[in-house]
A and B are shown apart, each in its own frame.
Chain A
């Protein structure tokens, strides 16, 4: 591990951190514009041309608002809650391959911070920790609505993690690796995993909606029943952290869906026109971001189209539909992979 390698990694971490924050910031603007488009309105258009400075105005507003900490709350945990939420949201970007390796002056520069050989498990672990921020924040507020929101969030996350894990296991069976870099590299051209695992993809994207607490699964912050849900008592930038973490989670989920099922940085026919590895890396980065933008759009499209589930419907969908379907997917995948052995066993 040389010094230049270390410096390169630090720079990469900073760039990806900055991009994550930038994308999350502009997702708030995109959300407003898409909501306006779907409801036949104009949306924010006052701050700057087409309102593109709106996120800045929002951020300034968030920072300038008065900070309220309820006197009956558990002060330390009340402050830690949004921090944990933000931390776990930012931790997942580490294992995502943002593009193929660059080659400058004979040295390989991978566009992935670290290619863990247990990348999927790392991702899954960080996702399962994400609920702590909401639970701690909701409980520490010492408010019944916040507590109900926190409890809804935790039971929802635990329920949907099971189906998500089972759909990922089917994917791991077909790819034969747990490293995200390897999964992205194994889908050249149009050999995307979505064609091999269509049912798995469907289950995964539904669970991703539930894990990010996005509509139609946003029961933890259901305003018609729970005032504001787990962040009822929060104000100023602490509230901003909770909301911002949701947008970061959405960005990372879109990146994970693109990498797992839609070829990551790969694009059909591109190897025929571009041969220079550095240009391929740059184009791969652009393609990945195109896919991510599309999935962020899908997240918003669904939010402004579908009504919210009722809580018993949510649990029924999770335990009685998605888990049996993902087990079926697992069995069918295993059967297809072992088809020659089964054929020989029964025919001969």
Chain B
């Protein structure tokens, strides 16, 4: 019973903070609201009994990536005066495009049926022991291949960061 209330509370907060990210004028406020949104999503993970995912979500997104975002935005010192002026036509077309996306999403969700899972759901899969066993036994190859992807991204970043390429 209490988890249902928590779910609604967290969902409400997630949507509220998410819209505040878009609506707030100050970019630093936007980033801080995004951090709060990540916290509510981490709360959802805890409700799904995926504590490992919740902790890693907070560490990686709120603790590292958003700090870098904030870092860059603080250095650029963006504020209302530096924001480029957008024409009324641009705003109108953006509203029409996102509105039609909303219509499409609502329409497709309305007709969709609930997905029936084939395997019985194991509620303990999110615990760290089970997750580790699954990742390193059943999905070893995809897991290792994804690390190559990260390595490629890292090498690319180093290449871009170099001042002169000989």
Which of A's residues lie within 8 Å of B, judged by CB?
74, 77, 116-118, 121-122, 124-125, 128-129, 131-132, 135-136, 139, 147, 150-151, 154-155, 157-158, 161, 178
Contacts and interface: CB of A to CB of B under 8 A. Distances in A.
B67 A139 contact: no
Contact of B59 (A74, A121, A154): A121
A131 B56 CA distance: 17
B47 interface: no
Contacts, number: 62
Contact of A118 (B35, B55, B70): B55
B62 interface: yes
Contacts of B58: 125, 128-129
A117 B70 CA distance: 31
B10 to A, nearest CB: 17
B74 A129 contact: no
B16 interface: no
A121 B35 contact: no
Contacts of A129: 58, 62-63
Helix, strand, loop or mixed for chain A's interface? Answer: helix
A122 B71 contact: no
B52 interface: yes
Contacts of B128: 117-118, 178
Interface of B: 26, 28, 32, 35, 51-52, 55-56, 58-59, 62-64, 67-68, 70-71, 74-75, 127-128
A114 to B, nearest CB: 12
B136 to A, nearest CB: 13
Contacts of B68: 158
B67 A125 contact: no
